[in-house]
Amino acid sequence: SALLAAVCAVQQFDPANIDWNTIRTIQETDSYRAKFGLAPLSDDDIRNSRISGGTIAMPNQIPWAVGVFIHGGSGHGFCSGTLISPRHVLTAAVCISGQVTLTIALGASNMASIEQLIGVSNILSHPRYSSLLNRDDIAILTMNRDAEINDRVRPVLLPRWSDVGNSFN
């Protein structure tokens, strides 16, 4: 069965105009929590739920990591993704469920140094994705143009069929 498709509207997006203290992951948004009968989170709850004890990535260390900005009526949300080709990003379906406007941020080791911003023209979600069962939570985003490949932006190197069964030890 083919993946479900949705066409996205492309919106001009300037991260300089965003108050980064108000950005929430999809799971932190009031609308997402309401779907599951959960109360909204306070700002303190959100700050305390973020990654703790992680390691800051150096520039160029993870050139396939991208940011997925979600534009909605209740503000801006953010998810991560993986660049899998010059034009495609792999992300979680929960990030784009019900969303119509997305922008991909590439080439940034932090949000102050975004190198490329590219709109999303198409979303393919797994046809059996279920937010209730947390099943088949995968989507492919097609950007409206190819990313410029360089030291800071590069698709992830995925294993080939010949690598199946190889433990890489």
In a domain, 148, yes or no: yes
Q: How confident is the model at residue 4 (pLDDT cuts 50, 70, 90)?
A: very low
The model's pLDDT over 36-80, given as tens digits with 9 standing for 90+, comes to 787 877 766 665 555 656 677 777 889 999 999 887 766 667 889
Q: Which of 2, 43, 5, 4 is nearest to 122 (CA)?
A: 5
Report CA-CA distances (Å) from 132 to 32, 49, 100, 124, 158: 11, 21, 21, 19, 30
Q: Which residue has the higher pLDDT, 163 or 142?
A: 142
The predicted pLDDT at position 22 comes to 63
pLDDT at 21: 63
pLDDT at 96: 83
Enter the tokens of residue 27: 């799971």
Task: Calculate mean pLDDT across residues 8-27.
Answer: 59
Q: Is residue 53 domain-resident?
A: no
pLDDT band at 7 (very low <50, low <70, confident <90, very high): very low
Q: For residue 8, what pLDDT is reported?
A: 43
Q: Give 162's pLDDT tier (boundaries 50, 70, 90).
A: confident
Q: Domain range for residue 123?
A: 4-12+19-39+60-157
Residue 31 lies in a domain: yes
Domain count, the chain: 1
Q: Cα–Cα distance between 48 and 44 in angstroms, integer?
A: 6
Domain containing 80 — which CATH number?
2.40.10.10
Locus of tokens 């990003």: 89
State the Cα–Cα distance between residues 18 and 70, nearest whole angstrom.
Answer: 12
pLDDT tens, position by position, 86-109: 999 999 998 887 666 899 999 987
